Amino acid sequence: SPFLHLKPVILNLYRKVFVFWKDPSDAHVVVKPEPEQPLQNFTVCLRSFTDLTRPYGLFSHATKAQDNEILIFKPKPGEYRLYVGEEFVTFRVPETCIDWEHICASWESAMGIGEFWVNGKPLPRKGLRKGYSVSAEAVIILGQEQDSFGGGFDLYNSFTGEMTDVYMWGYGLSSGKMRAAYQSLQLPPSALGWRNLQYEIKGDVAVKPRLKDMLIV
Ligand SMILES: *[C@@H]1O[C@H](CO)[C@@H](O)[C@H](O)[C@H]1NC(C)=O
Ligand SMILES: [Ca+2]
């Protein structure tokens, strides 16, 4: 597994961002959740800033069996895809000006309901993969879409821009906590957290202080 060679830095990235500055690129960031466990429920949140109009992968959780085990992918402006266990649902979002965009995606196996929140507001819920369990032995990568375990990137599906506030929980966040994530308020303990992120940068990604005109305090 790529983790055998992972020498992760564990850092509080508060008020910092990853700058994915090369386009196209195979650059990415490997992140490691704690604990690693099979998931019947999850929530992933992150904030991104880009002027890309081509497709790109933001959050890619792949196992040896399935590369799109959990995937948040933007095929074009105004659309996000949430994949769970190789199936996906599409969430349509208003096309906005170039600004920071905060998203949270959650899924619960019992009913197979997926939620997608953009800038603190929910979109109509959609269903997929009822009764499924997301496998724990995964590689989680920011800024690329995996087509094989830990790799198989399409350089023209890479993310270029800035990313911050990446979190993952092994349960569905309440509406109040979804809004709290958008507002950068106090959040419950998470499997992946921006303030204690276990990560390794691969390639042309820089850690920089966030710019002052960022929307959120
Ligand atoms: C997943 O979420 C459902 C609904 O909130 C809950 O009933 C169930 O116990 C959760 N499963 C796990 C393993 O946490
Ligand atoms: Ca894939």
Distances (CA, A) of 52 to 12, 158, 194: 28, 10, 24
Mark the ranges of the chain whose per-residue pLDDT is less than 70. 1-8, 213-217
Domains of the chain, earliest start first: 2-209 (2.60.120.200)
Cα of 28 from ligand 1 centre, angstroms = 31
Cα of 146 from ligand 2 centre, angstroms = 5
Name the nearest CA neighbour of 204 among 150, 124, 143: 143
pLDDT at 36: 83
pLDDT at 213: 64
Please report, as a single letter, which amino acid is at residue 144.
Q
Q: What is the DSSP string of 43-59?
A: EEEEEEE----S-EEEE
pLDDT at 212: 74
pLDDT at 45: 98
Does 171 sit in the ligand 1 pocket, CB within 6 Å?
yes
Cα of 114 from ligand 1 centre, angstroms = 14
CB atoms within 10 A of CB 155: 12
Name the nearest CA neighbour of 80 among 123, 130, 28, 137: 123
In a mutational test of the pocket of ligand 1, which residue from 41, 115, 134, 175 has the highest number of ligand atoms less than 8 Å from its CB?
41
Ligand at shortest distance from the CA of 63: 2
Ligand at shortest distance from the CA of 144: 2
- Residue 119 has φ and ψ, to the nearest 5°, of 45, 50
Question: Which H or E run contains 178?
Answer: helix 175-182
Beta pairing partners, 117:
104, 122
- Dihedral sign for Cα 30, 193, 164, 12, please: negative
pLDDT at 12: 87
